[in-house]
Amino acid sequence: MSVSDQIVDSLVRNKVEFVTTVPCKQLGDVIDGCEAHPDIMHVPSNKEDEGMGLCAGAWMGGKRPAIIMQNTAIGVTVNTLSSLTQFYNMPLPMIISYRGEIGERVAIQAEMAVHTKPLLAQLGIQTYHFHEPDDIRDLDSILNHTYMTRKPTAVLTDSNFWGGY
């Protein structure tokens, strides 16, 4: 089974019923999988901070939310992560395509890649890095941990995890 299918399966298994996405090439199959699955309400966002607002509403509406986005979005959402998600103690798994790591072919992606982990660390966000396809085995536990702690969580999925470009 592809890692994309395994991500969607894990979301469903953990009763993640509301997913918002902003596309990245690597995430295409996950986004399609969320759109197609009857147990997931998929609401695409135009920008990641908007998506985090949707997720906050969905959480208060009684559904487990998740956002799927590219790591460049960490630059967009610093204020939202601290002033919304963290200030109100809300859980938010972020499944993030980690562009700009080894194997990357677009040089500019490395610019935000080098800032991604420092920004997450500065924000005190629990962060996991999936480098091997097998790392997917931790996703169930990470999702569970995220809702239990009511905190945002970053799952960085790099090029190697996706099997290269």
Q: At closest approach, how far in Å is the CB of 67 from another protein? A: 11
Question: In the set 3, 40, 52, 119, which binds another protein (CB under 8 A)?
Answer: 52
Binding to another protein by residue 164, rule CB under 8 A? no
Mind spelling out the 3-state secondary structure of the chain?
Answer: CCHHHHHHHHHHHCCEEEEEECCCHHHHHHHHHHHHCCCCEECCCCCHHHHHHHHHHHHHCCCEEEEEEECCHHHHCHHHHHHHHHCCCCCEEEEEEECCCCCCCCCCHHHHHHHHHHHHHHCCCEEEEECCHHHHHHHHHHHHHHHHHCCEEEEEEECCCCCCC
With respect to another protein, which residue has the nearer C-beta, 53 or 133? 53
Q: Which is nearer to another protein, 20 or 159 (CB)?
A: 20
Interface positions, 108-127, toward another protein (CB under 8 A): none
Tell me the CA distances in angstroms from 114 to 98, 147, 165, one per residue in order: 10, 28, 19
64 beta partners: 16
Least Cβ distance, residue 91 to another protein (angstroms): 12
Q: Is 38 in the site for another protein (CB under 8 A)?
A: no
The one among 9, 29, 35, 43 contacting another protein by CB under 8 A: 43
Considering the rule CB under 8 A, would residue 90 count as an interface residue with another protein?
yes
Tell me whether residue 90 or residue 113 sits nearer to another protein (CB atom). 90
Q: Using the rule CB under 8 A, which residue among 70, 72, 80, 159 binds another protein?
A: 80
The region of 5-13, 62-70, 120-128, 132-140 touching another protein under the rule CB under 8 A is: 62-70
- Site for another protein, rule CB under 8 A: 17-18, 41, 43-47, 49-63, 65, 79-80, 82-84, 87-90
